[in-house]
Structure 1
Amino acid sequence: MGSSYRDYMQDRDDQGPTWGHDTPTTKWLIVVTVIVFFLQVFMTHRAPVRSSGPSVDAGQSATVQLVSQTFHGMQPSFVEDWLLLDDAKVRSGQIWRLVTYVFCHPRDNAFSILFNMLVLWFLGSILERGMYRSSELLWFYLTTAVLCGLVFVGFGYFMRLPDPLLGSSACVMALLTLYATHYPTREILVFWIVPVQIRVVLLIAVALDVFTIVNAYQGNQSWVVVAYLTSLWGIAFGYAYRRFDLNLTAFMETFDPRRLRRSVRNLSARRRLKVFQPEPTVNLNEEVDAILAKIHEQGSESLTDRERAILQKASERAKNRM
């Protein structure tokens, strides 16, 4: 289990969100995301941006072209050029984008980052303080990002995706799913007014995404839209994580270089170690009797080296007993 006491707090109602020292993962995820957003806003560069189509100067990267389509009329950002999830760039080797895209949010929609960070603070701090270790929650968040990013890249292998992927919605929905598996009947205020059980909110979100997939299957809309349903993939991973009781921290520790070095050293030491193998226990008295009978019949000259050694061993053992 990610924590040995995951269900310890399940029925307690006093474990609300917090910004204390016992929730470092939640705090740092929020801090890093907010910093990246400000860098998105201020670290821009001048480049021709056409809102009427995807074409830009030939010297510009495909990522800049996609960003230009996403933020019509806005200058491209250096941060977005390097951090957004461009499926073509990932396939060319820029695998860091599978993680970094969740720390970016649309510059023209401050509500997106505000909503996601509020939900992250509310859910993350409760889960981190009450049921999961900080390292486990961090690996859960990053693993969700990577898996949902891989799904997006997979869609890009079969179709042209017009825009890059950004935003932490997949990770937030995975946290919401994890929280709902612990507290399914807890109520949240939708639009800060209507109280709704959290499992109902989750089912509505799933139903909307499934409806989008059905529409694409029926040909009512493009399959490209389905590629951007990262919230659904996040919900699926959150459910699988809870269902199979995964322990991501223990799994990641198997790749710890220090741990691998210790394992190699221990293996080498075991190979060099000479293990004493005691001789099998036998009935020494019976062997001595047989040897003495042989001496009586054939003489002492007929004894082999092994038989002489057995007699010597029996003689020494008899002396030690005196």
Structure 2
Amino acid sequence: MLSDRPYMRDDYPRNRTTVLTWLISAIVAMFVLQHLLWRLFNADTLLDQLLGLSVANLKAGRIWTLVTYSFLHSKANFLHIIANLLGLYFVGRVLLPVLGSRRFLGLYAAAVGLGGALWLGTHWSAGTGTLIGASAGVLGLFMLFACLNPNQPMTFLLFFIVPVTLRPKYVAAGLLAFELLGFGFYEVMGAVSPFGAPLAHSAHLGGMLAGWVFFRTFHASRGWFRPSRPDVELPRWMQKTPKAAPPPVYQVDVTKREDLRAEVDRILDKINSHGFGALTEEEKRLLDEARDLLSRR
């Protein structure tokens, strides 16, 4: 029968839907639901009240909002969700085979949670505003990517037209400087951001911190406080070359015929493999003594 033939059987393992696909699908589904509630029922703030992160929600006991806020995005700015989805896809498809599903999802949740915690600490006294968006999780994943591949070239389309190639370590350093300046000069001071809508710099910094801590904990081989290998090294002619260890000194009991024959066989094998010039002075002396001893016998 056809079912008896191996190439006709349907028992081969099938590809499963990855956690990255589920994550992107959940974000898109929540964005569609936001618009449906807004357009059809005029309930544009319903999901923000249930899933968005705010001081009032946390005081009301809605602990889940520390994570669920990352599934909501601005309905008035499509660039908000498009930028997060593109970053999540391109960085996630590189990190997912390295981390695995559990660690990938754990890092995303940790970056989102730490970003939300820092945002709450920054805005706790004011008690106003609602945090939404997956930027903290995306930046946490990108920080880990930059730590794992600091010099791998990355090509961006500036304004979707001009290709620009940069190294991840420089992009991460630029993002870190931008978020620190925005956090210190605008978010903490309560000033109006020059980029229009207020940016959650504190949440972004929390996500990047989570990615760096994850790298130092699970991937850095030198531990937390040991200095890593410097990027700039001295030329070879300026470096001290370690002295080669002297060859081991050993003595062979030539009075026993079995030991002598075994040692001669080893020396002959060495000559056959590396040539007579590879022998040490001790091996040459032993070979001469063995030849004299065997000739007398």
TM-score of the pair, normalised by structure 2: 0.60
Cα displacement (A) at 1:118:
1.4
Cα displacement (A) at 1:183:
0.8
Cα displacement (A) at 1:227:
5.8
Q: Is the 8 A contact 2:119 2:200 kept in 1?
A: yes
Cα displacement (A) at 1:189:
2.5
**What is the letter of the counterpart of residue 97 of structure 1?**
T
| C-alpha distance in 1 between matches for 2:59 and 2:21 | 32
Identify the match of residue 172 of structure 2 among 202, 211, 215.
202
Distance 1:135 1:155, change over 3 A: same
Cα displacement (A) at 1:97:
0.7
Identify the match of residue 142 of structure 2 among 176, 191, 194.
176
More moved, 112-121 vs 25-34: 112-121
Consecutive unaligned residues in structure 1, runs of 5 or more:
1-19, 48-73, 247-322
| C-alpha distance in 2 between matches for 1:34 and 1:218 | 31
Q: Match of 1:44, SS?
A: helix
Cα displacement (A) at 1:214:
3.8
| C-alpha distance in 2 between matches for 1:122 and 1:23 | 17
| C-alpha distance in 1 between matches for 2:131 and 2:76 | 15
Does 1:229 find its partner at 2:202? yes
Does 1:239 find its partner at 2:205? no
The count of residues paired between Structure 1 and Structure 2 equals: 198
Q: Is the 8 A contact 1:155 1:227 kept in 2?
A: no
Question: 2:30 matched to which residue of 1?
Answer: 36
Does 1:124 find its partner at 2:92? yes
| C-alpha distance in 2 between matches for 1:146 and 1:153 | 11
Cα displacement (A) at 1:216:
5.2
Question: 2:151 matched to which residue of 1?
Answer: 185
Identify the match of residue 18 of structure 2 among 16, 24, 43.
24
More moved, 194-203 vs 182-191: 182-191
| C-alpha distance in 2 between matches for 1:219 and 1:154 | 14
Q: Is the 8 A contact 1:23 1:134 kept in 2?
A: no
Question: Percent identity of the aligned residues?
Answer: 26
Cα displacement (A) at 1:46:
8.7
Cα displacement (A) at 1:122:
1.1
| C-alpha distance in 2 between matches for 1:158 and 1:75 | 28
Q: Is the 8 A contact 2:34 2:47 kept in 1?
A: yes
Cα displacement (A) at 1:101:
0.4
**What is the letter of the counterpart of residue 197 of structure 1?**
R
Q: Is the 8 A contact 2:186 2:192 kept in 1?
A: yes
**What is the letter of the counterpart of residue 215 of structure 2?**
R
State the superposition RMSD in angstroms: 2.8
Deviations 1:136-181 (A, max 9, x none): 11111112111211222222322233x2000000000000001111
| C-alpha distance in 2 between matches for 1:109 and 1:189 | 25
Q: Is the 8 A contact 1:23 1:125 kept in 2?
A: no
